[in-house]
Amino acid sequence: MGPGKVNEDLVAERRKCTFDTQELTYIIDGGKEETQKRHEVENIVTSIPELQDPIPEEYMSHKEKYENAVRRACYVTKALKNFVIENATKPGPSNRYRSAEAATKDVTPMALHFSMFLPTLLGQASPEQQEKWVPRAVNMEIIGTYAQTELGHGTFLRGLETTATYDPTTEEFVLNSPTLTAYKWWPGGLAHTANHCVVVAQLHSKGVNHGVHPFIVQIRDEDTHMPLPGVKVGEIGPKLSFSTANNGFLGFDNFRVPRDAMLMKNAQVLKDGTYVKSRLSKLTYGTMVFIRVMIVTDMAYYLSVGATIAIRYSAVRHQSKPKENEPEPQILDYVTQQHKLFIALASSHAFRVTGQWLWTTFVKVNKALTSGNADTLPELHAVACCLKAVTTRDAASMVEACRMSCGGHGYMTSSYLPILYGITTAACTYEGENTVLLLQTARFLVKAWEQAVDRKAMTPTVAYLVGAGDQRGAWSSQPSGITRGMQQVAAGRVRSAVEALQKHVKSGMAYEDAWNAASVQLVAASEAHCRAVLCEVYWTETERLAAASSRELGAVLKQLAELYLVYWALEKGGDLLLYSNISKTDIAYLRDRYEELLSLIRPNAVGLVDAFDIRDEILHSTLGAYDGRVYERLMEEALKSPLNAEPVNQSFHKYLKPFMQGKL
């Protein structure tokens, strides 16, 4: 097995794949043209000569990592300028730009410029303000970020302490951080990279607090990069991952910005300090929902990365000898290993198609919104909240299962899996903490339940609540039957939570306290609703995709989707027993069927991850590379350690030897 030669187990796996992996790649990308465009972008990124690091980033100091990341971000962004500009005007889920970003191993210090700064300008700046700022931002003449969260305030937006007080004599806002807990804390790139920043602050004018509003604020001199007087800015320190995201803090001491720093597409402050209320405040929901749509799609991608690494490694790794006279089998042949990995594979597909569905829904709702109709917004908001929460949690725990399925080697940074977990689990917290989001969906579900009881007209995602519990119908272990069962579970969970809530209210509790007391059950109801949506959307979309595909691929897509349904039916078996007509025999059947599906998917496992088509330069993994040279790569990476450059480390002479000789 010399350099460049592909591991023979992987060769054998690829030979036995029953479908055309390229056909699936086109589906994943959204069409052949998209795949080609992605390849074009990847070819540009991977051929930038300046991207060679002096040593692998993980050996560098915290400061060196940042400096290295700035260098990489500048060269990558420069190379991709045309694509970036094209993307800024055509948002939506796409594999194209994500792959390009992945050329940095961890998170780039410029990430928030594109994901938050620019979208906020586009969404909240007035036309004149857009004219002033958007071209400079798109051309990256300035680098921005988005500063909302404070040291003492995250979830509760109204609790932010940073103030922007209007001074009509100079027609300026005066920004202040009145306490330590008022310091902005967390924004990526804020520490030493951005020179501009959207700051969310409490707006005071004429002695009245009008609540939080966004302001565009220059924080560093464009020429010298020195923080402007009255600005205190720096970095918040190391984290689980995001080691190069340059997350920062920011405080203001009577820092003055002109009146037009306030982003005035919606609310405004006139020259004399008169506050003009927003007419379309619901529109600001749009950006938030948009970001959650993108997160669902990101999770599909992270799962594809985790599955690619773990499945290829499991095909190369041999271990144990169940049969004395046969060689050690590939660990991918252990059914417990398949149990850990194939659900990650299936979930990646489930999240991708659900992300697409959510995007389509979002576009429809947004169109209605701009023509003044906000009727469908609550449902979109509710489904986006729970989908963000459930997909991030599943992705994090499944990526972690992928890591652990690689044994000790999955614990190595060079496997990429520890970094991937750090990036994925962060999504459980940012852009709406998961428990908080599930409780927001629960508010919608409680209302929907009351409407369902009254037999009112229901919006699509909760239509199943009508008549739930009246009659259950026979259980069916067919995919559509499982989907219906998951809806019965959701309805049952919603009903139980509502009953718990009502019981507490009847006992004399204030509604808020009753809500809190029932919140564990409300969260469970919200999760159950989300699982029902995921199952329904994934199965429906799979049937559509399978019908449009070759017979061979169609069969595989259906196996994956059925695996997903059966997996969750078994995970939620207790709820099915409580709220559906499933029998003990049905559960035994599902266990058998689950094992059967694992063995059906097994021969195509490597083909399925090959179809994700993630280049080695973007995968960053010793364990997951296309050629499967796992052990060679592990050793090659280890030998790059600066500690290995010297046979004896200086600490021996300084400490270890005196210590062993009793002379320390």
Going by the annotation, the residues of the binding site for FAD are 149, 188
**Separation of alpha carbons 386 and 533, rounded Å:** 10
Residue 544 is encoded by which pair of tokens? Answer: 């559509």
Centroid of chain to Cα 462? 25
Contact indicator for 627, 42 with CB cutoff of 8 Å: no
Please, which residue, 466 or 517, has the CB nearer to a copy of itself?
517
Q: How far is the CB of 299 from a copy of itself (least distance, A)?
A: 16
Centroid of chain to Cα 531? 17
**Separation of alpha carbons 91 and 78, rounded Å:** 20
Centroid of chain to Cα 13? 31
* Residue 194 falls in which region: left (phi positive, over 0), alpha (psi -120 to 50) or beta: beta
Closest of 288, 315, 309, 318 to residue 382, by C-alpha: 288
Pairing of strands 196-205, 144-147: parallel
In the block, residue with structure tokens 């500063």: 147
Contact indicator for 287, 380 with CB cutoff of 8 Å: no
In the set 171, 172, 235, 431, the catalytic residue is: 431
End-to-end CA distance of the chain: 49
Residue 427, helix vs strand vs coil: coil
**Separation of alpha carbons 618 and 198, rounded Å:** 31
**Separation of alpha carbons 295 and 93, rounded Å:** 9
Catalytic site residue 431? yes
Closest of 544, 566, 569, 563 to residue 608, by C-alpha: 563
Centroid of chain to Cα 545? 24
Please, which residue, 250 or 534, has the CB nearer to a copy of itself?
250
Please, which residue, 178 or 642, has the CB nearer to a copy of itself?
642
Please, which residue, 192 or 352, has the CB nearer to a copy of itself?
192
Q: How far is the CB of 195 from a copy of itself (least distance, A)?
A: 8
Q: DSSP of 189-232, one letter per residue?
A: TTTTT-SEEEEEEEEEETTEEEEEEEEEEE-B-TTT-PBPTTEE
**Separation of alpha carbons 112 and 109, rounded Å:** 8
- Catalytic residue numbers? 431
